[in-house]
Every structure is written in structure tokens, then in C-alpha cells.
Amino acid sequence: MFWGTHDDIGRRVERLEIPFNDLGVDHYGISKPHVRQLLTALCWLYRHYFRVRVHGIEHVPRRGRGMLIGNHSGGLPLDGGMVIASAFLEMDPPRLVQGMVEKFFNRLPFASQWTSRTGQLTGLPEHAARLLEDDRLLMVFPEGAKGTAKLYPARNSLVEFGTGFVRLALKTRAPIVPFAFLGGGEAIPTVVNLYGLAKLLGTPYVPITPYLLPLPLPVRLDIHYGAPIWLQGTGNEDDEIIASHVAEVRRTIAALIARTQRMRRGWPELGRADLIRSVQDRPGPSTGEAEGRADQGGRP
């Protein structure tokens, strides 16, 4: 089936299980026409420009609350856009993934308008909790803006994770669906970030590529969803307990990254247990090194 025509997208937007009113707007301000236009653009990029491959989409809840937790890849939030497109195109019924947008975005003309009309709310704990209580599908990148600022050599590494998402998952009893996103670092190969210019523009950083502008190259992207993780607790646990849950999620994502890297290189797959073990064995916080170990361990 050919995906990406405006009519196809329109039909799928009509099937979104979102309580739109007669004006085509829901109580978060999500607007059908805006979602249709955004998804038309994203789906073209998804199918024809980046030719995204998705693995494990069956792990994403078909209904009800869920947290998609993954790694950032690429100097711009391509990853978020492609995750939104994957849940919209590959799920039946389609789902609208709602991300948490950096605060500076809401101050920018047009950006503010488009993010709010397409359900991408400012990254605040209040928003995340409300969306989950409302049985929406939430996307969180626990690396934050530091994750998209990764330079090309560190493109498949993980920087430090925030811990708020685990407390939120526990409080709202939401499953965590880990995912790995690969290829963003090749699509936008950041060689340096300009922080001085960024300060003037009101953004966290400005990525510079070998061809200067951070325009994405047509590189194939992969999204790999893992099995849901159900954490038990109230969200009021001590920091050590929360940190152990965060580490578990991080290890799972690192293993998914390593596994997807092998698939991209055409190598045979390792079992999930082997991969998690290989990631657990490594000493450093980054999966960049671990990824090498995992690859070496599984190299035929």
C-alpha cells in the first residue's frame, strides 16, 4: 500500500481515538487539520526520504497510556518526528504520539503554534502526568537537549538520563516501552555545536555539519521498540531505587541500540539476553564503548 497521500493520511487522522469536538479540536488544542498537515509531511519523510524500518511495533500499546522512552539521535529532533510517524502509520488503529517539547520552542512564533496544535506540549511534569492519566501515548527522551547535541562520533552513545520519567511511570502506572533510534547521527552529522550563536537565537545550541547547515541527508533510519517494562511502586521511592530503575531502562535501550546496529550492518542477531549482558558488563556510562563490546562479542 502506498502511504503518504493526503487522503490516506486524512483517513487515518479520522481513525485517531482522540475526542475531537465539532471544530476538530480536542481539549489539549490538538487540531485535526494541523495533525493532517504535519503527518503528511512526516509520513513522506518516513516512507520516501528516510525509508524508516520499524521493529517491534507490536510492543506499543494499542490503547491506553504508555511511555515511549528512547535515545536521541541527530542534531535536530528527527527522531521524535519519525517515532510519531511510526505509531501513526504502522499501528492499527493509528495512535498520535505526544512528545515533550523543549521550553524554548514555545517562545518561537509558528513553532509554538504547530507544536501545540499537534499535541506536542512543553516538557513539564504536569503535562506528562496529565497526558498519561488521560490514557495518551507519551514520548520522552530522558537525555534531554544534551542528547540531540551529541557529535557524530558519539552518535550512538547515551548521555546521562533524567530520572523524572521513572517516577512518572510509577505514579501513573504506565508501561515504559523502550526504543532505540538509529541513523539520526548519520542523517545530521554534527561536527560542532555553536553555543554562542544559540544564546542569541534563544536555542540550546546550533548544530553545524560538514556542509554547514543541519539539513538531514537521506539516510535510512531504524526504530526498534522493545518489550514494555512494568515498574512496581508509587513514585515516592528513594533516589537509589529510582536510579536502579533508570539504569534498567537505560541498559535496555543500550541493548536495543546495539542490536539495531548489528541489523543495520547485516550481522546476525544476538539474543536479547546476550546483548543486555554485554551492555551490563561494560564499565562506562556511554553505550558508544559498549556497543563495540557487544558487536565484538557477537561478531561471527
Partner 1 sequence: MKILIPGICGRIGQLVATELKAQGHEVWGIDRRTWLDPPEGIVVHHVDLRKRAAEDLFRRLRPEVVIHMATVSHLAAGSEEQRYRINLEGTRAVFDYCQAYGVAHAIFLGRHTYYGAAADAPLYHLENEPPRGLDSFPELADLVSADLYAGSALWRCPELVTTVLRMCYTLGPTGHGTLAGFLRGAYVPSVLGFDPLYQFMHERDVVAAICLAVSARLRGVYNVAGPQPVPLSLVVRQTGRTLVPLPEPLFAWALGRFGLPALPRGALGHLKFPVVIDSSAFCRATGFAPRIDEMRALQQFAAAFPIEKR
Is 200 a residue that touches partner 1 (CB under 8 A)?
Answer: no
H/E run at residue 246: helix 239-265
Is 273 a residue that touches partner 1 (CB under 8 A)?
Answer: no
Among 15, 107, 199, 299, the residue binding partner 1 under the rule CB under 8 A is 107
Is 212 a residue that touches partner 1 (CB under 8 A)?
Answer: no
Q: How many CB atoms lie within 10 A of CB 251?
A: 20
Is 163 a residue that touches partner 1 (CB under 8 A)?
Answer: no
The residue whose grid cell reads 561478531 is 299
Helices and strands in the chain, H and E counts: 12, 9
Among 126, 240, 265, 268, the residue binding partner 1 under the rule CB under 8 A is 126
Among 37, 44, 61, 122, the residue binding partner 1 under the rule CB under 8 A is 122
Among 37, 40, 113, 163, the residue binding partner 1 under the rule CB under 8 A is 113
Among 47, 55, 130, 173, the residue binding partner 1 under the rule CB under 8 A is 130
Dihedral sign, Cα of residue 272, residue 275, residue 280, residue 284: negative
Distance of closest approach, residue 36 Cβ to partner 1, in angstroms: 15
CA–CA distance, 265 with 51 (Å, rounded to integer)? 16
* Closest CB to partner 1 among residues 144, 184: 144
Cell readout for 121 is 506540549
Is 290 a residue that touches partner 1 (CB under 8 A)?
Answer: no
Distance of closest approach, residue 213 Cβ to partner 1, in angstroms: 22
Q: Which of 160, 148, 224, 158 is nearest to 188 (CA)?
A: 148
User: Of 37-45, 112-120, 209-217, 282-290, which segment contacts partner 1 by CB under 8 A?
Assistant: 112-120
Per the DSSP assignment, residues forming a β-bridge with 222 are: 53, 182
* Closest CB to partner 1 among residues 105, 205: 105
Per the DSSP assignment, residues forming a β-bridge with 55 are: 224
Is 6 a residue that touches partner 1 (CB under 8 A)?
Answer: no
* Closest CB to partner 1 among residues 124, 227: 124
Burial of 155 (0-12, 13-18, 19+ CB in 10 A): buried
Distance of closest approach, residue 79 Cβ to partner 1, in angstroms: 23
User: Of 110-118, 166-174, 230-238, 254-262, which segment contacts partner 1 by CB under 8 A?
Assistant: 110-118
CA–CA distance, 17 with 60 (Å, rounded to integer)? 15
What residues numbered 10-39 form the site for partner 1, per CB under 8 A? 21-23, 25-29, 31
CA–CA distance, 254 with 4 (Å, rounded to integer)? 31
Cell readout for 133 is 492519566
Positions that interact with partner 1 (CB under 8 A)? 21-23, 25-29, 31, 103, 106-113, 116-117, 121-122, 124, 126-127, 130
